[in-house]
Amino acid sequence: MNNTRVSIGQIKRDISELVNRVTYAGERIILTSRGKPKAVLINMEDYERLLRSESRTTDVQKWLAEARTLSGKIAQRRGGMVDVDAILDASRQELETR
């Protein structure tokens, strides 16, 4: 995918052309001011992909927070740290006896 740097001054002159390049050619236009990147023009497909990615990240963060809360509750019930190795060993032994 082509990333093109364009000054904000050029955007004012060539917005229609640049939007078409983003929409139809899939370019990503990096808007610059005094040579420094400030923003990006992307097509709707890229934008929707970005939104889905943010949603997945939020879902994972929620899941991790819930897992930490549950782990804390388990630790409290067990009176301290959770010995994961002991739990796995017990589970293996139980499966072997079945």
Residue pLDDT, tens place only, 23-59: 999 999 999 999 999 999 999 999 998 888 877 777 7
Question: DSSP string of 15-83?
Answer: HHHHHHHHHHH--EEEEEETTEEEEEE--HHHHHHHHHHHHHHHHHHHHHHHHHHHHHHHHHHHTS---
pLDDT of residue 82: 67
Burial class of 14 by CB neighbour count within 10 A (0 to 12, 13 to 18, 19+)? middle
Does pTM top 0.85 for this prediction? no
- Tens of pLDDT, residue by residue over 49-94, are 888 887 777 777 778 788 788 877 877 777 777 677 777 888 888 8
Is the per-residue pLDDT at 12 higher than 90?
Answer: no
